[in-house]
Amino acid sequence: MTLIKSISGIRGTIGGQVGENLTPIDAVKFASAYGVWLKQQRQKDIYKVVVGRDARISGKMMQNLVMNTLIGLGIDVVDVGLSTTPTVEVATTLEHADGGIILTASHNPKQWNALKLLNAKGEFLDAVEGAKILDIAESDNMEFADVDSLGKITKNKAYIDLHIIEVLDLDLVNVKAIESAKFKVVVDGVNSTGGIAIPLLLERLGVDVIKLYCEPNGHFPHNPEPLKEHLGDLSDAVKKHKADFGIVVDPDVDRLAFMDENGEMFGEEYTLVVCADYVLSRTPGNTVSNMSSTRALRDVTEKHGGTYEASAVGEVNVVKLMKKNKVVIGGEGNGGIIYPEAHYGRDALVGVALFLSLLADKDMSVSELRKTYPDYYMSKKKIELTPGLDVDGILKAIEERYQNDQLTTIDGVKIDFSESWVHLRKSNTEPIIRIYTEAKSQEEADALADKFIEEIGSIANS
């Protein structure tokens, strides 16, 4: 089992040995380090942190550990309870808090959980800030509050509703057109907080909602990563109910994927593409996604006269480049929409509202809409890391082999060929090497991935 410390937070499997898994002692240790870091940064008399969680089984335990650790440091806590990652981000700014923590392991299975850490802007910490927290966690330099200076916990369960209001108030969300379209939609909430937030949003937009796995009990009915191979039940439900389309989110509702009226995937990579097409058609500008995302975003951006640029993988890296380039929309190809007019965080609620606005405007089926975008096919494979495997050495060897091709090495190794690309990198969230490829057909993408898996194996065994 595993404990991973990265810019994506402190993530691990529940139970097991201290320091090797995400145990209660590890939760207290890293929550303490975050609280100490926050107090060092802010230098004030009263501190406030927003804390929320997805519905996974360990969430309540983890949230209680984290909240009570923070009040032990003299920090006040706003407990938003069952929530979504983007909702906690929004709540952090609305509360004028000093930071936020979300207890979620995103798309990982139920045995995982994590502390996702936010700054006062409701944005993820960068690598430098994360490194400082890890240093504090490994030191003994943590001083807790005396009995008269303990923090307090205040509950506020209104923030999903407040988040929805913020989404509906966005200028490009065409509420009247969506209401007039009278859509019927099946929602797969993977028995987490998406089963609360997404149906509430849709109902406010006049959508007829069919709920599938929307009970927030943490018992995920399928692998919670929103990929085609996990979504047979959603496909069946869309066809059974003759719905206009299906929606699926991950457990903390920062990833979003659509399914067309025939029960076929719209393509998780195309969530950002379609939302960007809508935004760019009304507010021309530039876009950003990470290096592992589809070229289709570049094509759509250039169609609207804008410029596209890729960042290193990781939401904080995408946001940093988005701010630098003053983009109008960005995100990640895993279904993560970042729309600065809302906030600088991946937000499935924003993505749903933008998608519905475009669909109402186009007055076409979801399958017809998908045909208006260029076809690229992606393969996403991985290699489990084993002790003693020199990942950096392997990536360096690949870099040397392909030095005459177009290389990018800001995050692993990406090789751009004329009709395809491959991106090899260590994961921030799992003990694996990710191998992402994209080509003009699925067969070509899979073959390219298999070729590089074979090359990695050859290098590792040499």
Active-site positions read 106
| Cα distance between residue 71 and residue 152, in whole Å | 6
Strand ranges across the sheet with 208-212? 208-212, 184-188, 245-249, 256-259
Burial class (CB within 10 angstroms; exposed 0-12, middle 13-18, buried 19+) of 443: exposed
| Cα distance between residue 187 and residue 153, in whole Å | 33
Q: Which residues of 210-231 are buried (b: 16+ CB within 10 A; e: fewer)?
A: bebbbebebebebebbbbeebb
HEC string of the chain equals: CCEEEECCEEEEEECCCECCEECHHHHHHHHHHHHHHHHHHHCCCCCEEEEEECCCCCHHHHHHHHHHHHHHCCCEEEEEEECCHHHHHHHHHHCCCCEEEEECCCCCCCCEEEEEEECCCCCECCHHHHHHHHHHHCCCCCCCCCHHHCCCEEECCCHHHHHHHHHHCCCCCCHHHHHHHCCEEEEECCCCCHHHHHHHHHHHCCCEEEEECCCCCCCCCCCCCCCHHHCHHHHHHHHHCCCCEEEEECCCCCCEEEECCCCCECCCCHHHHHHHHHHHHHCCCCEEEECCCCCHHHHHHHHCCCCEEEECCCHHHHHHHHHHHCCCEEEECCCEEECCCCCCCCCHHHHHHHHHHHHHHHCCCHHHHHCCCCCCEEEEEEEECCCCCCHHHHHHHHHHHCCCCEEECCCCEEEECCCCEEEEEECCCCCEEEEEEEECCHHHHHHHHHHHHHHHHHHHHC
Half-sphere exposure of 176 (CA within 13 A, CB side): 1
